[in-house]
Amino acid sequence: MQFLSDNAAAVHPRVWDAMRAADAADAPYDGDRLSHRLDDAFGELFGRECAAIWVATGTAANCLALATLVQPHGGVVCHSEAHIEMDEGGAPGFYLHGAKLILAGGEGAKLDPGTIRTAIDPIRDDVHQVQPHAISVTQASEYGLCYRPDELAAIAGLARERGLGLHVDGARFANAVAFLGCSAAAAAGPADALSFGCIKNGAMSAEAVVFFDPAAADLARYRRKRAGHLQSKGRFLAAQVLAMIEDGLWLDNARAANTAAREIAAACGDRLMHPVEANELFVRLTEQERTVLRAQGFGFYDWGRDAARFVTAWNSDPNAVSALARAISGL
């Protein structure tokens, strides 16, 4: 009964099927027929022209997206608990050639115009201080909270006013859309680039980076190759992404994960550190309580000394979910 993370979950059968179907000779790299369908598939999903490329990890997706928005001498405003700051092993420093992450605050790992201004307004407009070139937000956030369309619009407005690019880290974008009940376009807001997560949501090894400026995608294609991320059998990555988005699998899977999270959340009451909007739960639990849960067979990470993190996935076992809810209620 694992609730450690969604990032190592099994691969969805329809993703497997799509991969098997891709196992015929085709052009190498991204010259195959499946890769060629990505732009249109995402264009349809977002209702506007866009260009999309596959890549094997969320870290690479975020970094390739940001590399089109940030020069080496610039900076990226992100939350101090953003994945790019905390958990990517310095990859932004590598991909952006030493550009700086400019850290801002905000409840639940969500930025807002106020916290962004607090971070960037003190930056003197001179060469001695690193100037911001872009803003990166995570949808849903690292604490599982979702930006509402008007919140994104406000951030985008500030970005435009200051001449900054806007990137959305959508490692759990599907969960955000499922929660918000809005269109993909509304959940992405007026972003320049979006890391569209698939791996945590049933794929094996493919994320997409969606560029709303096709010229940026051209640039990213060079950078992808340069980063050793242009796989020769790219058709297998394209197949995964298409399997996720072409028949709504991405939303179905995210809804399943969110539903499971909500069921557990209902049992947590005041224990919840953050509202549960997507598929992550941060739950106040003493060490003793965590020991009790683990003794019952539940797997999860400690979150500091007095809490735990539970993550549901597309394939969370309903019985395990109910069992966990009961177990927490019974503490």
**Is residue 163 part of the contact set for its own copies (CB under 8 A)?**
no
Closest separation in Å from C-beta 44 to its own copies: 26
Peptide bond into 140 cis (omega under 30): yes
**Is residue 117 part of the contact set for its own copies (CB under 8 A)?**
no
**Is residue 259 part of the contact set for its own copies (CB under 8 A)?**
no
Q: Which stretch binds its own copies (CB under 8 A): 59-67, 105-113, 183-191, 281-289?
A: 59-67
Q: Binders of its own copies among 63-92, rule CB under 8 A?
A: 63, 71-73, 75, 86-92
Q: How far apart are CA 20 and CA 14, in angstroms?
A: 10
What sign has the CA pseudo-torsion 7, 216, 67, 164? negative
**Is residue 8 part of the contact set for its own copies (CB under 8 A)?**
yes
* Cα-to-chain-centroid distance, residue 81: 14
Q: How far apart are CA 3 and CA 64, in angstroms?
A: 30
Q: Which residues on neighbouring strands pair with residue 170, listed in sequence order?
A: 196
Under DSSP, the state recorded for 139 is S
- Which residue number, 195 or 258, has a Cβ lying nearer to its own copies? 195
Judge contact between 276 and 3, C-beta under 8 A.
Answer: no
Q: What is the dihedral of CA 269, 274, 275, 280, to 10 degrees?
A: -100
Contact with its own copies (CB under 8 A): which of 79, 110, 172, 223? 223
- Which residue number, 232 or 319, has a Cβ lying nearer to its own copies? 232
Q: Which stretch binds its own copies (CB under 8 A): 142-150, 172-180, 220-228, 265-273?
A: 220-228
- Binding residues (CB under 8 A) for its own copies: these are 2, 4-5, 7-11, 16, 20, 23-29, 32, 55-57, 59-61, 63, 71-73, 75, 86-100, 127-131, 199-200, 204-205, 219, 221-233, 235-237
